A = this chain, B = another copy of it.
Amino acid sequence: MVDREGHLQWIELSRTKIAEYGLFDIYAARRTAGRRDAEFLLLDAPDWVTIVPYIEEKEAFLMVRQYRHGSGTVTLEFPAGIVDSGECAAEAARRELLEETGCTAGTFDEVAAVNPNPAFMTNRVHTFVATGLVCDAELDLDENEILDVETVPVERVAKGLGTDPFINGIMVISYTWFVRWRERRRPKERER
């Protein structure tokens, strides 16, 4: 089978769950490309959401500082989380923003969703820009979640992106979508 450009696609023959780790499951997929077939490893995770809470009047973001167990370092990044079962991405974005920052937002715009690594991951990460923030709730954190909420100038993020404490790759994606969201909105503002 080929796609519109004539490129070969693999067809799935079977899929077996190998392990469950809470954050994700591991599957082995048996797939065929005509004369050959082989087994491929899949990391199957729920979709992720990242929220870019943008405070327009301060030209700043609301960000969370937290210890990240994968990198073993403290990072400064946008609020983010996992889409729970039965939730849509927009609902997860609202919930995570409220839990991690105590804020609600007047507007949530989904800018884009991409696959974190389509080589072996099955899920997508959705980025929402949140504006019109009202922050008057208590944080509601998971048992081992310890985080500080900070207001960070957009300029500081733009300059520091890719260096400590802004080393989260998902955040680079979300920042890129934020820039795109702002560029798309500017022509409209000029028309007013």
Contact = CB atoms under 8 A, between A and B. Distances in A.
State how many copies of this chain the complex holds: 2
Nearest to A66: B7
B169 A116 contact: yes
Interface residues of A, number: 62
Nearest to A116: B169
Interface stretch (A55-63, A86-94, A117-125, A132-140): A117-125
Interface string A16-48: 000101110010010101001010111100000
A162 B118 CA distance: 13
A172 B42 CA distance: 21
B19 A118 contact: no
Interface string A55-90: 000000000011111111111000010000000000
A72 B15 CA distance: 13
Given A114-B167, A162-B112, A173-B172, A7 B67 contact: yes
Interface of A: 3, 5, 7-10, 12, 19, 21-23, 26, 29, 31, 33, 36, 38, 40-43, 65-75, 80, 111-122, 125, 143-144, 146, 148, 161-163, 167-170, 172-173, 175-177
6 contacts: A7-B67, A10-B69, A33-B67, A68-B118, A115-B168, A125-B169
